[in-house]
């Protein structure tokens, strides 16, 4: 961390328009370019594949800013998609639970959020429902 500000203030600077930039840079005591450099060169964003071409001070200030903005936008979209996906899973779980058909392991969601994205429930194969009785060896077909 080489700039004197964190998270939200950095994002504010990154998304500021040319008109408000001077005032914001004065208020935060750092520059947009410094924030871009810090995030690309020395943060958890440094490993981001779309930013790799800019590592080591490569690209113009404008190119670096645009690349970082794009990476942040993609990450925001990814988070929103995950949240939507989880809501769908929860809704499926409550429907299955109402019917008494929910998988006892995942509770009907079929998956759960893990560090590397969603983890599918193995016992129900991600379906969220109890294993169909037809697959239990001792069941008698109708
Ligand atoms: Zn399950």
Centre of ligand 1 from the C-alpha of residue 74, in Å: 30
Same domain, 22 and 70: yes
Put simply, whether the predicted model's pTM sits higher than 0.75 gets the answer: no
Torsion of CA 88, 93, 98, 100, to 10 degrees: 150
Measured distance CA(13)–CA(33) in Å, rounded? 9
Centre of ligand 1 from the C-alpha of residue 92, in Å: 12
Would you state the structure tokens that stand for residue 37, as one six-digit string? Answer: 């450099």
Q: Which residue has the higher pLDDT, 132 or 49?
A: 49
Q: Which residue has the higher pLDDT, 7 or 20?
A: 20
Judged against a pLDDT cut of 80, whether residue 134 lies above it is answered with: no
Same domain, 74 and 105: no
Centre of ligand 1 from the C-alpha of residue 45, in Å: 34
Which residue, 37, 54, 81, sits at the end of a domain?
Answer: 81
Centre of ligand 1 from the C-alpha of residue 75, in Å: 28
pLDDT computed for residue 45 by the predictor: 83
pLDDT tens-place string over residues 68-127? 999 999 988 888 888 899 999 999 999 999 999 999 999 999 998 877 778 999 999 999
**Confidence class of residue 132 from pLDDT cuts 50, 70 and 90?**
low
Is 86 inside any structural domain? Answer: no
Is 42 inside any structural domain? Answer: yes
Centre of ligand 1 from the C-alpha of residue 18, in Å: 51
Looking at the 3D structure of the chain, how many domains does it have?
2
What percentage of the chain has pLDDT greater than the value 70? 91
Same domain, 75 and 13: yes
Q: What's the rounded mean pLDDT across residues 4-15?
A: 88
Measured distance CA(126)–CA(53) in Å, rounded? 38
Centre of ligand 1 from the C-alpha of residue 122, in Å: 6
Same domain, 4 and 73: yes
pLDDT computed for residue 67 by the predictor: 95
Centre of ligand 1 from the C-alpha of residue 116, in Å: 19
Domain that holds residue 138: 100-142
SS3 at position 27: helix
Centre of ligand 1 from the C-alpha of residue 142, in Å: 26
**Confidence class of residue 139 from pLDDT cuts 50, 70 and 90?**
very low
Q: What's the rounded mean pLDDT across residues 5-25?
A: 91
Same domain, 129 and 63: no
Centre of ligand 1 from the C-alpha of residue 130, in Å: 7
pLDDT computed for residue 135 by the predictor: 56
């Amino acid at each position: 961390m080489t700039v004197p500000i964190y998270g939200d203030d950095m994002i504010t600077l990154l998304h500021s328009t040319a008109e408000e930039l001077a005032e914001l840079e004065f208020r935060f005591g750092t520059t947009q370019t410094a924030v871009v450099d810090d995030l690309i060169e020395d943060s958890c964003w440094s490993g981001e594949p779309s930013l790799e071409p800019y590592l080591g001070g490569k690209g113009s200030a404008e190119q670096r800013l645009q690349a970082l903005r794009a990476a942040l936008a993609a990450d925001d979209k990814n988070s929103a998609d995950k949240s939507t996906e989880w809501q769908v899973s929860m809704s499926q779980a409550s429907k299955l639970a109402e019917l008494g058909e929910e998988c006892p392991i995942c509770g009907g969601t079929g998956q759960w959020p893990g560090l590397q994205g969603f983890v599918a429930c193995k016992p129900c194969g991600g379906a969220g429902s109890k294993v169909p009785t037809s697959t239990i060896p001792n069941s008698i077909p109708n």
